[in-house]
């Protein structure tokens, strides 16, 4: 049972344009969501997070939107840069366990 889903395995965008990465979840108990960026053979790097009490959080070029009623979150990267090319994972946690449930990942390619 995949509680966190990233239905797009890959995404390709042109440099300077917006990248939108999507994530859906099924567990209504999730109350904290995170996005990570990962290169092959490396550990994930934290990008941005959002609590369920908010619907938007912004940090530089990265903005995360949360739609609780739809159980959907998205990561916007604007403007996209070639260095953003990587695999992006969304993750969710609930309560005080701290345990993260990860989506399958979306490979982003930003073309120069």
Partner 1 sequence: GAVVSQHPSRVICKSGTSVKIECRSLDFQATTMFWYRQFPKQSLMLMATSNEGSKATYEQGVEKDKFLINHASLTLSTLTVTSAHPEDSSFYICSVPTGLASTQTQYFGPGTRLLVL
Interaction of residue 46 with partner 1, rule CB under 8 A: yes
Number of DSSP helices (H) and strands (E) in the chain, helices first: 0, 11
Which residue, 4, 17, 20, is CA-closest to 108?
Answer: 20
Site string for partner 1, 93-112 (x = CB under 8 A): x-xx-xxxxxxxx-------
Choosing from 24, 63, 89, 106, the residue that interacts with partner 1 (CB under 8 A) is 89
Choosing from 8, 11, 22, 32, the residue that interacts with partner 1 (CB under 8 A) is 32
Interaction of residue 45 with partner 1, rule CB under 8 A: yes
Residue 31 has which token pair? 């109350």
Give the separation between CA 37 and CA 53, rounded to whole angstroms.
24
Residues 6+ away with beta carbon under 8 Å from 43? none
Residues that bind partner 1 (CB under 8 A): 31-32, 34, 36, 41-46, 49, 51, 89, 93, 95-96, 98-105
């Amino acid at each position: 049972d995949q509680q966190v889903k990233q239905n797009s395995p890959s995404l390709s965008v042109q440099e300077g344009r917006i990248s939108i990465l999507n994530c859906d979840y099924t567990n209504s108990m999730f109350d904290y969501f995170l996005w990570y960026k990962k290169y092959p053979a490396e550990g994930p790097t934290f990008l941005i997070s959002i609590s369920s009490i908010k619907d938007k959080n912004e940090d530089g070029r990265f903005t995360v939107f949360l739609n609780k009623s739809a159980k959907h979150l998205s990561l916007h990267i604007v403007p996209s840069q070639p260095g953003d090319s990587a695999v992006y994972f969304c993750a969710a946690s609930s309560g005080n366990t701290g345990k993260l449930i990860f989506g399958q990942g979306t490979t982003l390619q930003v073309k120069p």
